[in-house]
Amino acid sequence: MAKIRVWIDRDQCIADMVCVSLCPDVFEMSEEDGKSQIVAKWRTDPNNPAEGVVPEDLKDCVQSAVESCPVSIIHMEEIQE
């Protein structure tokens, strides 16, 4: 079954919250720096809020966030596990 690898270039995040509003199951705003991050349950490394792997059923909302991010810093790719 395919999964979706998602990563964010957090250094370039402008914190407009589009990703969070479109896909709150995957994205949230960091309380520490106010930038977008991957929800903890999907992170590949608990200490890296910029990368995660989500189930295929979240692909559409992640794709919406990728396409709608005004600074194009959200990326995704399908991976096989």
| Rg of the chain (C-alpha set) | 11
Go through the domains of the chain in sequence order and give each one's CATH number. Answer: 2-80 (3.30.70.20)
The string of pLDDT tens digits covering residues 25-81 is 999 999 999 999 999 999 999 999 999 999 999 999 999 999 999 999 999 999 986
CA pair distance 38, 10, nearest whole angstrom: 10
Tokens of 79: 């991976």
Tokens of 62: 């992640």
The pLDDT of residue 10 is above 80: yes
**According to the model, what pLDDT value does residue 36 have?**
98
**According to the model, what pLDDT value does residue 46 have?**
94
**pTM exceeds 0.85:** yes
**According to the model, what pLDDT value does residue 1 have?**
73
**According to the model, what pLDDT value does residue 80 have?**
84
Q: State which amino acid sits at residue 23.
A: C
